[in-house]
Amino acid sequence: MLVHPARVRPLAEKPRRAGPVVYWMSRDQRAEDNWALLAAADLARETGAPLHVAFALAPGYPGASLRHYDFMLRGLAETEAALRARGVPFHLLLGDPAAVAPEFLRAIAAGACVTDFDPMRVKTLWKRAVAEAFAGPLLEVDAHNVVPCVVASPRREYAAATFRPKIHKRLQEFLEPFPELPAFPDVALVATPPVDWGAARASLSVDAFPGPVPDIVPGPAAARAALDAFTAERLPGYAARRNDPNAGAVSGLSPYFHFGQLAPQRAALEVLAARAGHVADADAYLEELLVRRELSDNYCHYTPNYDRYDALPDWARKTLDAHAGDEREHRYTPAQFEAAASHEALWNAAQRELVATGRIHGYMRMYWAKKILEWSPSPRQALDTALSLNDRYALDGRDPNGVVGVLWSVGGLHDRPWATRPVYGQIRYMNERGCRRKFDANAYIARHS
């Protein structure tokens, strides 16, 4: 068996039928290092059934623009080619996934369907609809987390301190090398012509702005090259330099993780292989990759209203509500924030970085979100504004990591109470003076002016 059985859980326990096995790809958009695809391959080889991969392309997705769809479609074209090289046909289904996925399963008389784990609300609704409509079994495989989300903890964790030992306890069990995807007879390829990617792009109903980011190449090959460059060139010194947005020390892998073009487990294996001589640096990165990132999935999976103000910890809502009426020296509308039209050059530079590059340095994203809290009429509006801007412009927006990053900054999620201040209450505070102590703020401003 190629896949640890604890990665797999049934979403619809119906009898398996004769017919092809379909991997309904969604979050994990790659042919290599993909536990969900490997699980589907296992099922197909058990009975000699053909294996098909299908991706349902929604014409629009909340918060997504041409920037995100372009990155995704270019990566999927590479994934299609890699699958066809292994004898596995790839089908691009155009339309609402809740409707077109069951239609496809019926059309090819599928015997079983495998999909990947994703805690985001829209994806959960799609899977629920397919589970109800499909006559066969629907299996979900966690191919994104190193320790499967439902295995790591059966409940919402309230801090990294409680979650960390649970992850480390199971790492040895799940942090294993990936087997190679088996090759299949290419008979099924004959009836499945290559995807018309131009027609797929034309079918979209999304905003043309923001457009594609020119300086980051999408796709699994570019993702692997980016990982290799990080481990060889930037992992040494990472622990000391990661909070300096001028240092160029970050991994740059989050867009590839978000679109499933790189397995986080592959990143963990490569960083561990490069750990000798760089123990503190590797451990600092692995804390972010394994504990903080998987804690984000834990939060969204066990919190259906994960992006709502009411989902914040009780102490945080209480303190924010108590200070909601505090006088604000500056107030901005969501449109002013979006236009980088604040009084502060450093904050404006962070917003311009996000809009222009589709990325924002992690330390600056915390500062950026906290100032939205400070300069918004209410904490509720601040949360909505920060989430909306992050989703619209960041390549890794619309993601558990993005949601949790904003809620940590604005609403104290996974944090603790601090000294009371106006507007913030007991939410952790950041200011420009603190940034200037950490890095050359003027250089950052000049680069994003």
- 405-423 pLDDT, tens digit each: 999 999 999 999 999 999 9
Can you tell me the distance from the alpha carbon of 417 to that of 425, in angstroms, rounded to the nearest whole number?
9
**Is the pLDDT assigned to residue 391 strictly greater than 90?**
yes
Confidence of residue 187 (pLDDT cuts 50, 70, 90): confident
CATH number assigned to the domain covering 309-447: 1.10.579.10
pLDDT at site 2: 84
CATH 3.40.50.620 domain span(s) along the chain: 1-144
Can you tell me the distance from the alpha carbon of 371 to that of 258, in angstroms, rounded to the nearest whole number?
25
CATH 1.25.40.80 domain span(s) along the chain: 145-179+219-304
Between 187 and 289, where is the model more confident? Answer: 289
Can you tell me the distance from the alpha carbon of 65 to that of 389, in angstroms, rounded to the nearest whole number?
12
- 275-289 pLDDT, tens digit each: 999 999 999 999 999
| CATH fold for domain 1-144 | Rossmann fold (3.40.50)
| CATH fold for domain 145-179+219-304 | 1.25.40
Q: What percent of the chain has pLDDT over 90?
A: 96
- 115-171 pLDDT, tens digit each: 999 999 999 999 999 999 999 999 999 999 999 999 999 999 999 999 999 999 999
CATH 1.10.579.10 domain span(s) along the chain: 309-447
Confidence of residue 55 (pLDDT cuts 50, 70, 90): very high
pLDDT at site 152: 98
What does the mean pLDDT of the chain come to? 97
pLDDT at site 190: 85
Strand order in the sheet with 138-141: 8-12, 138-141, 112-116, 21-25, 51-57, 90-94
Average pLDDT (76-80) is: 98
pLDDT at site 54: 98
The structure tokens 């490069």 sit at 274
The structure tokens 């009084």 sit at 343
Q: pTM above 0.85?
A: yes
pLDDT at site 108: 96
Can you tell me the distance from the alpha carbon of 55 to that of 172, in angstroms, rounded to the nearest whole number?
32
